[in-house]
Amino acid sequence: MPKHRVLTEFGMGTSLRRQDYTQAARRGLQDALWHNSINMAELFGFPKEAMLIDVEIGVQEPEKVDVKALLDIFPYGQPSIIVTQGGLDVPRLDGPPTVIANVAINVSFQMVMA
């Protein structure tokens, strides 16, 4: 069956002082997910485990994001996370830059559209 996207959500997260790219990504994921209650599975008559969750995270230093540490954010579904160049590092006079992560989440299901 073909994969059909049913929802896209965006978020932004920061690490203000520790330059922690994983924490900024985690906060961006939470920002996107905590804005709503995603009831897509029930709407289409699927179990929540059938949700295909594709996540793209943009930060200035993608290699510093621990993707495995982010998977526990998702209580169900099948998350897939990729990290790319993006986001923003904002210079500060008194320490390391503030890290901003941008996040896009797409939820899809394997289904036939009538």
Q: What is the pLDDT of residue 40?
A: 78
Q: What is the pLDDT of residue 51?
A: 93
Q: What is the pLDDT of residue 114?
A: 66
Closest CA to 22 of 53, 80, 62, 78: 62
pLDDT digits (tens, 9 = 90+) for 39-68: 778 888 899 999 999 999 999 999 999 999
* Nearest-angstrom CA–CA distance, 96 and 51: 38
User: Among the listed ranges 28-32, 37-41, 48-52, 85-89, which one has the minimum average pLDDT value?
Assistant: 37-41
Tokens of 34: 């905590």
Q: What is the pTM of this model?
A: 0.91
CA–centroid distance for 35 within its chain: 13
Max Cα–Cα distance, the chain, nearest Å? 58
Q: What is the pLDDT of residue 35?
A: 74
